């Protein structure tokens, strides 16, 4: 009977997330990890990370350099570092593969391995099961979550950063490339928290201001007892509704927690906010998920 959703998709609409274990094979995960090693090996450190800053003015220029680097990363493959890994000359204080926090935001468009994964037949099939009619890929990221950095991911909703009219059109695909455990920083969710809209938006700041983005509204104080952890094995996929509240804790383990994630928007009857930090470009309009 057409239009009936598989039972677990009912769970997705109820909770705002869905865990699909063993969605990708170990080989597919390893191909992504190997590819990222190659990309890191060939990486050039961006100029704004190399400037020796002294005066306030130069510091502002450097901040501007960082923000431009971020704001224009939507159609490129770029590198974002953990704090304190580079000295003032921009040389690494630790091995460079341990110094990167994430790589984004167009791996899905420019890298053959990540493009193949993003548009793989099983992802497309899942999109169809979810009833997506005109899904487009808006961004992708490789997240390292290395062990010695005490960075956690504060509670947030993806729609804060990727705003659409109407809401409810953004969907995250989060792929564990290694087992994600309680110790190494798996994701935590508040089930059912995707039904009450968003309270905060990150928007592009007016040009000429020192920051590139600003927040409108505020993140409420979430009750930490409402979060449930979602440990997941290598190859597992977590589907994330754009408005579900989620976070990750510190990685306190001895191992990393690599993940590849991308976001899809249902483009049918949807407008993408002009105030989002991420904008499609003539070089890279958001590509269709379906090939």
Q: 199: domain CATH number?
A: 2.60.120.620
The pLDDT score that the predictor gives to residue 1 is: 42
Question: What is the value of pTM for the model shown?
Answer: 0.94
Q: Kindly provide the b/e burial profile for residues 10-26, where b requires at least 16 CB atoms within 10 angstroms of the residue's own CB.
A: eebeebbbbbbeebbee
Residue 289 lies in a domain: no
Would you place residue 5 in the very low, low, confident or very high pLDDT band (cuts 50, 70, 90)?
A: low
pLDDT at 153: 83
Q: How many domains are there within the chain?
A: 1
Non-local (6+) Cβ contacts of 177 within 8 A are 29, 32, 33, 234, 258, 259, 260
**pLDDT tens-place string over residues 179-230:** 999 999 999 999 999 999 999 999 998 877 767 889 999 989 999 999 999 9
290 falls within a domain: no
Confirm whether 291 is domain-assigned: no
pLDDT at 150: 61
> Does residue 50 lie in a domain region?
yes
Q: What pLDDT does 248 receive?
A: 94
In the chain the first and final C-alpha atoms are separated, in Å, by 25
Reported confidence tier of residue 86, pLDDT bands at 50, 70, 90: confident
In a domain, 131, yes or no: yes
Could you give the percent of the chain with pLDDT greater than 70? 95
63-101 burial: b if 16+ Cβ within 10 Å, else e: eebbbebbeebbbbbbbbbbeebbeeeeeeeeebeebbb
Please state which of the ranges 12-16, 183-187, 210-214, 240-244 shows the lowest mean pLDDT. Answer: 210-214
- The pLDDT of residue 95 is 86
Query: 39-71: per-residue pLDDT in tens?
Result: 999 998 888 887 776 677 777 777 888 888 999
Say if 248 falls within a structural domain: yes
What is the separation of C-alpha 146 from the centre of its chain, rounded to a whole number of angstroms? 16
Query: Residue 285 falls within a domain, yes or no?
Result: no
- Give the domain extent around 153: 7-272
**What pLDDT is recorded for position 54?**
64
Among 89-93, 149-153, 195-199, whose mean pLDDT is lowest? 149-153
Query: For residue 198, what pLDDT is reported?
Result: 96
Residue 279 covered by a domain:
no
On average, the pLDDT of the chain sits at 92
């Amino acid at each position: 009977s057409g239009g009936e959703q598989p039972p677990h998709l009912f769970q997705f609409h109820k909770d705002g997330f869905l865990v699909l274990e063993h969605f990708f094979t170990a080989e597919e995960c390893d191909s992504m990890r190997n590819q990222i090693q190659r990309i890191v090996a060939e990486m050039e450190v961006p100029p704004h990370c190399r400037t020796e800053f002294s005066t306030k003015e130069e510091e502002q220029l450097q901040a501007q350099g960082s923000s431009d680097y971020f704001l224009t990363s939507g159609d490129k493959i770029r590198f974002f570092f953990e704090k304190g890994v580079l000295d003032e000359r921009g040389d690494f204080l630790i091995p460079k593969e341990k110094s990167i926090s994430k790589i984004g935001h167009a791996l899905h468009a420019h890298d053959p391995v990540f493009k193949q994964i993003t548009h793989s037949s099983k992802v497309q099939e899942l999109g169809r099961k979810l009833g997506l009619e005109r899904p487009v890929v808006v961004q992708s990221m490789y997240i390292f979550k290395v062990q010695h950095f005490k960075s956690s991911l504060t509670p947030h909703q993806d729609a804060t950063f990727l705003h659409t009219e109407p809401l409810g059109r953004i969907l995250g695909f989060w792929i564990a490339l290694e087992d994600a455990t309680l110790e190494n920083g798996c994701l935590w969710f508040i089930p059912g928290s995707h039904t009450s809209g968003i309270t905060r938006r990150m928007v592009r700041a007016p040009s000429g201001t020192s920051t590139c983005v600003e927040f409108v509204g505020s993140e409420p104080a979430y009750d930490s007892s409402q979060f449930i952890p979602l440990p997941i094995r290598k190859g597992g996929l977590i589907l994330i509704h754009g408005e579900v509240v989620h976070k990750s804790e510190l990685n306190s383990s001895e191992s990393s927690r690599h993940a590849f994630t991308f976001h899809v928007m249902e483009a049918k009857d949807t407008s993408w906010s002009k105030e989002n930090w991420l904008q499609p470009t003539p070089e890279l309009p958001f590509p269709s998920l379906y090939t």
